A and B are shown apart, each in its own frame.
Chain A
């Protein structure tokens, strides 16, 4: 079936060529199907492809944009998702994962190289605030300029002018050139204009962190109001707390691919774990090029360190452990001379390596005394039945000492790392603990009483 139709982008109506009909069932307002976008790594190739492609496209010579040419890469690859009316979708991912590129494709700033984007209604993007502001124009003039750029009609701006001015809270500066504004005022004005465009689908890219605390809170309230009007929202942010509060659903992007699409709580935990995995992978990758020790003090060859790391219950080496699970750390070493007594100290440090999160000594309170150790290779294992380390990346230091004389055999500050993964909760901090909360009302002039 073919239809001829018109489409509204922002407030600019664009006639579209005849295409296969797209219809939205249910409450869908946006559908992204098999979306691909490629970019070029080198400037020279980019120039060559740009000229060649534009000439070919005008001459009607077919050329494959669905395959990669020399020095090209997929910035987005096979992205599929749908957005429903009233839904708030968070997009999270590391820098360079393709979030902003995706937003620019949905907005229509970039065309796709393969696949399709279809949406109903008016779309608005809050990618950066104050687009097109002129420093020598007054705040009022810039409201009209920026509002028009964002797709508002003059009468629409007239109607919302007071609201915008009140939201921006720029006071007497309205008639002053914005070059006289502080950076905070400029950002507030830009944001105030953008949020009053009220499109059917609003795309927000990391701009809710602008302004002071009061303005950020006001912006968050505005976002909630926007959602309450049953409009759809796509929200990109590195601030996971904002995503958690605003979004029902998240998608996780990684290297241009969609890794996860689902419930926001589950998605955020997955993302935190993914970030940790990436950090551990990066740390381990660096470890290959880095010294095993940041610092080591060894007393000749009486005791020689061999290896250090984590074990699972089956005794296999692992690099991650779940929150509140059993944590087993091993230390392999070789004794070259018989030792009367030996003991170990072990420290688990945070990622910045400046806090001992766990510290234990084998002979503490004379619980374990390892005596008369003959030469040979040994493995010491310390087990924490239920560790309370918070999700994150950790490093291990060790110390092997003579229990009888107090001599230090080997003391190593290592780059050996592991990660703690979250189990179904959104957790922060170094230490985890089971918690419960109560709320009590304090009557005026009295102590706490009743209610929870």
Chain B
């Protein structure tokens, strides 16, 4: 008689509770760390292999965005509000943070697609690709962050001590993005519309979030939307702490951080159960 018997049955995962599902996913991520590392290495280091600028693109992308916002501000097109910090420095930090959030959503939505090329040939825990995709987005952010820091220091911008806590302060955004992306990753397999819509929605959401302007001087409907938008706090509070060393809505920020974690747990359960219903539709 054997030990270590594996059984595959219909609706196997439906019977798994939320906490059990999350524990299984976390345990798989630890056990599959070599797979995560190998695929991270493949996709991170090889992504710019056939390009003259190589990894330089990671810093060039936010820099180009930054240039356009600074130009618009100088031309008087933009009304960023009042602030006691150089606007170019403010916008480069803010857009880098938003870029990180946006990249994390897209990365998490690619959880199933990350295994394209072998997902139909090899059995592996698909949810482990979430870790790999997020690691990649986080590594890109760290490179941008180092570059932006050097740039700001070169231009003599006075940085607050909390500025250096940015890699930790972005974690709530990462968690919220992972929850959104993981949910979307299931639906994108059956309906590609979501993938396209996600790109447009993120672009639109950026204007509904005080990324290139401050929330203080807003009134009317804009103020109401900004107040209801969780990114106003997840992004805005993190940025304010990084830039000014203080934030007005710290309690909301903490509450939303907790909610983001709960949302991620729900989306992990959703992914774990729903994945087996859509996986064959990838081929």
Contacts and interface: CB of A to CB of B under 8 A. Distances in A.
B277 A50 contact: yes
A121 B2 CA distance: 8
B28 A119 contact: no
Interface in B184-233: 186-187, 189-191
A398 to B, nearest CB: 50
A111 B5 contact: no
B6 A119 contact: yes
B280 A6 contact: no
B18 to A, nearest CB: 10
B118 A14 contact: no
A48 to B, nearest CB: 8
A137 B46 contact: yes
A58 B16 contact: no
B232 to A, nearest CB: 29
B123 A108 contact: yes
A153 B42 CA distance: 17
A57 B274 contact: yes
Given A110-B279, A111-B279, A149 B5 contact: no
27 contacts: A7-B4, A10-B122, A12-B32, A12-B35, A13-B28, A13-B31, A23-B1, A50-B190, A51-B187, A54-B274, A55-B274, A57-B277, A108-B6, A108-B123, A109-B123, A111-B10, A117-B8, A120-B3, A120-B5, A127-B122, A131-B122, A132-B118, A136-B49, A148-B34, A148-B35, A148-B38, A153-B34
The 6 A-B residue pairs with the shortest CB-CB distance in the complex, in nearest-first order: A54-B274, A50-B190, A131-B118, A120-B2, A7-B6, A108-B123
A114 to B, nearest CB: 5
A430 interface: no
Interface in A10-56: 10, 12-17, 19, 22-25, 29, 39, 46-47, 50-51, 53-55
Given A50-B190, A131-B122, A112 B8 contact: yes
A113 interface: yes
A24 B2 contact: yes
Interface in B1-39: 1-16, 20, 23-24, 27-28, 31-32, 34-35, 38-39
Given A114-B10, A119-B6, A136-B49, A12 B28 contact: yes
A65 interface: yes
Contacts of B274: 53-55, 57-58
Given A17-B20, A39-B280, A110-B279, A149 B124 contact: yes
Contacts of B49: 136
Contacts of B11: 57, 65
Contacts of B5: 5, 7, 22-24, 118-120
B24 A14 contact: yes
B39 A112 contact: no
Contacts of B13: 17, 57
Contacts of A57: 11, 13-14, 273-274, 277
Interface string B117-131: 111111111000000
Interface string A133-145: 0101100000011
Contacts of A14: 6, 24, 28, 125
Nearest to A111: B276
A278 B45 CA distance: 52
Contacts of B125: 12, 14
Interface of A: 5-10, 12-17, 19, 22-25, 29, 39, 46-47, 50-51, 53-55, 57-58, 60, 65-66, 104-105, 107-121, 123, 125, 127-128, 131-132, 134, 136-137, 144-145, 148-151, 153-154
B122 A105 contact: no
Contacts of B270: 54, 58
Chain A residues touching B, majority SS = mixed
A392 B101 CA distance: 65
A144 to B, nearest CB: 6
Contacts of A132: 39, 42, 117-118, 122
B9 to A, nearest CB: 5
A23 B41 CA distance: 41
Contacts of A120: 2-6
Contacts of B3: 120
B278 interface: yes
A107 to B, nearest CB: 5
Nearest to B43: A134
Contacts of B15: 17
B186 A54 contact: yes
Contacts of A108: 6, 8, 123
Contacts of B32: 12
Given A25-B1, A53-B277, A57-B277, A12 B42 contact: no
A19 B7 CA distance: 9
B121 A125 contact: yes
B16 A17 contact: yes
Contacts of B279: 109-111
A109 B8 contact: no
Contact of B117 (A47, A65, A114, A131): A131
A290 B214 CA distance: 78
Given A50-B277, A57-B11, 6 more contacts: A14-B6, A17-B16, A19-B9, A55-B274, A111-B12, A136-B46
B123 A107 contact: yes
A50 B187 CA distance: 8
A15 B273 CA distance: 14
B269 interface: yes
Given A57-B14, A105-B8, A111-B12, A136 B50 contact: yes
A12 B190 contact: no
Contacts of A23: 1-2, 5
A403 B178 CA distance: 90
B50 A144 contact: no
Nearest to B191: A47
Contacts of B117: 131-132
B4 A134 contact: no
Contacts of B277: 50, 53-54, 57
Contacts of A60: 14
A144 B35 CA distance: 10
A59 B189 CA distance: 19
Contacts of A104: 120
| Most B C-beta atoms less than 10 A away, residue of A39, A50, A121 | A50
Given A50-B278, A109-B120, A17 B34 contact: no
A107 B49 CA distance: 34
A17 B278 contact: no
A50 B281 contact: yes
| Most B C-beta atoms less than 10 A away, residue of A107, A109, A153 | A109
Contacts of A112: 8-10
